[in-house]
Amino acid sequence: MSENPSKAATPKVLPWWLALLFAAAGGFCLDLAAPAVSWWPAALIGTGLIFAALWQRKAGSGFLFGAVAGATFWMPHISWLTLYLGPVPWAGLAGVMIIWFGLFGMLIAISTRGLAHLMRPGVFLGLAQAFVAAGLWATREQIQSTWPYGGFSWGRLAMLQADSPFAELASWLGFAGLSGLLALLSALVVAVLSSRQAKFFSKTVALGAIAALAFGLALVPVYSLQSSGSISVAGVQGNSKSGIFDDRENGDVFRDHLDATSDMLAELKREGKSVDLIVWPENAAEFQLTEQRMRGFEVQRLSQQAQAPIVAGSVLQHPDNSYTNSSVVFDADGATGQRYDKRRPVPFAEYMPNRAFFRALAPDLVDLVQLEYSFGQLPAVMQLETTEGQIRAGIAICFDITFDEQAVAMMNGPFENGEPSEAQVILAPTNNADFGRTDESAQQLQIAKLRAIETGRAVVNISTVGTSAVIMPDGSFVDQLTPFTADYLYATVPLVEGQTPALRFGSAIAGAWITIGLLGAAFGVVGARQLHKLNRKKAS
């Protein structure tokens, strides 16, 4: 317990106007790390500015400044939602994210203020405040990725570092672990600068130590796994009019990808190249590919020509009248019966939660969502027969790639010899046509890149319109297509075995950050209540 409560009762905080400016600038800086500007240091600067605005404040101002930071980040970061659907979905999703940021800000304020009352001023106080702040940052990201309606796992601090020297740490820590560590670096800086007791020399030494730590972390190499061979994989970008409101006829999207695949095979033949696996984007085969004989025959013919299986995206209707957003497999004999169903259909786009309630608010928008896609239950790993033998391919359709549990699912495929088998390569088919030339597809590609590093697998990120790329396990790009062109990806990728530390321990690391954040918040609440009572007693 602090022996000098009167000193703790007047914590060092920024003037309200400066804190408001810091909060707004901090959120804006986070978005500068996104692909539109792609200046990765801005995310660390922004995190520090947000912490500085919230440090040791009262609960109300913490919520306000947290909400301001959330608004200046989320509103521009997901502005691509307005392109086809207008401002209502954008405002709704941004509003939820802003509320989470506000609650986070309130807890940071209470925790850092309360801990300053409970603990003696000094190094341990600063460390405790910084670790709790980082833990609460990671906790906010995990909660927003879970609730409501399955969550929105976009815009996490780790994702904003896909192009930074810290990205390799994802293979050791996972997404949540990396977010927590980066938040800790920023929080440590704020803890040092906000200290009342530390002198200039001590602060300089402490900041130097933090800089040295950051430099050392930036040098950590990616965790490498062994490969059991390689395959040549191709992804076809049909450049289709495949958005919700695009003017097209039934079969246009399918025909675009059929023609692009035929052109690709002709070009590969001229160059003397062969392909072991072909991947089509999400929805590229439109509806009911497995039930439409003529279309199925055309895909089968291409598979025969290539002597390679084709994994094609198709919407399927099932006997119980449910729908799934699926990837199906065709080979030289036709449909193989193998299928993966998207595990995370997008709420308010691929299904409408609480339809009656939301229809009363915005009937025209709600009625645009006509099909109710069900949540996939099938394994996220397919066993595919290729000329190189049987391979295991993990599948993550569009939104799936953003969720940490999907990475775990892709490492727990069909059982072999009593043990779950890991994917050797990851296929990430997607359809970004609804977002035009906005930043959305580039943001998604950043996530796919970080997922490749985290899992230690090559990722084939193939879109109907782009951005499409083949990403190697170390995060390097070996082929990338120009958006809005009909083209194909072609690369030789390793078939990787084993699991990175991120896959083995990522859940435990995430749980540790959440535990630190929530326990620290609990102690902070106790301290803040004591401080409040003390101030009331002094005032009376």
Which of 10-19, 307-316, 480-489, 501-510 shows the lowest mean pLDDT across its residues? 10-19
Q: Is the pLDDT of residue 5 over 60?
A: no
Express each pLDDT in 311-351 by its tens digit.
999 999 999 889 999 999 999 999 999 999 999 999 988 88
Express each pLDDT in 416-449 by its tens digit.
777 788 999 999 999 999 999 999 999 999 999 9
Average pLDDT for residues 43-64, to the nearest whole number?
97
Average pLDDT for residues 351-371, to the nearest whole number?
83
Express each pLDDT in 72-110 by its tens digit.
999 999 999 998 778 988 999 999 999 999 999 999 999
Calpha distance 397→380 (Å, rounded): 10
Res 367: pLDDT: 80
Express each pLDDT in 165-208 by its tens digit.
999 999 999 999 999 999 999 999 999 999 888 889 999 999 99
**Cα three-residue angle 237-238-239, rounded to 5 degrees:** 95
Calpha distance 214→222 (Å, rounded): 16
Express each pLDDT in 452-488 by its tens digit.
999 999 999 999 998 999 999 999 999 999 999 999 9
Res 405: pLDDT: 95
Of residues 101, 159, 143, the one with CA closest to residue 510: 143
Average pLDDT for residues 363-381, to the nearest whole number?
88
Express each pLDDT in 288-311 by its tens digit.
999 999 999 999 999 999 999 999
Calpha distance 56→539 (Å, rounded): 20
> Strands of 459-463's sheet, edge to edge?
381-386, 389-395, 425-430, 459-463, 469-471, 477-480
Domain 227-347+380-498 is found in CATH 3.60.110.10? yes
Res 8: pLDDT: 41
Res 11: pLDDT: 58
pTM of structure = 0.94
Q: Where are the domains of the chain?
A: 13-223+504-539, 227-347+380-498
